Amino acid sequence: MPEALQLAALAAEVRISAGKLIRRLREQAQPGDFSSSQKSVLLRLDRDGPATVSALARAESVRPQSMRVTVAALQTMGAVNGTPDPHDGRQTLVALTPTFRQKLYASRAVKEDWLTRAMLAQLSASEQQQLADAVKLLQRLAEF
């Protein structure tokens, strides 16, 4: 039982620390950033490429109607555009616009620069290696 209690305490610490780190990274965001659902769609499109609204809805576990609202807002902001699906002309593929892709990469660079500077200032070389090892474990947990 003590091992289970220690693991539960570790789980709480990981959750709290990850939350604090996410908040610090959000502080680096530009004004007028996107909602969490919009960010999730944008990151999925960046990672996986163009997709239909239906495919995005399935991937994000939301109703197609909700995804249409999210995609419409992103289109209004100029972040995504739609083109006919070359395999099924009845469908539209949603993709990031080239201009937005540049903004996305610039925003990531700002956050990663802050995090790099924080790691250099706060962590020894040994601790940096420990963090690299821990990231592999966090990735495994995130994919569970």
Which of the four CATH numbers 3.90.190.20, 1.10.10.10, 3.40.50.300, 3.90.1530.30 does domain 34-96 have? 1.10.10.10
Q: What is the DSSP string of 1-16?
A: -HHHHHHHHHHHHHHH
Per-residue pLDDT of the chain (144 residues; tens, 9 = 90+): 678 888 888 888 988 998 888 888 877 766 667 888 898 999 999 999 999 999 999 999 999 999 999 999 999 999 999 999 888 888 999 999 999 999 888 888 988 999 999 999 999 999 999 999 999 999 988 888
Q: What is the pTM of this model?
A: 0.67
- Expressed in angstroms, the distance from the first to the final Cα of the chain is 23
Neighbours of 93 (CB within 10 A): 19
* Partner residues linked to 95 by β-bridges: 81
- In the block, tokens 């610490």 appear at 13
Report yes or no: 59 and 80 within 8 Å, Cβ to Cβ: no
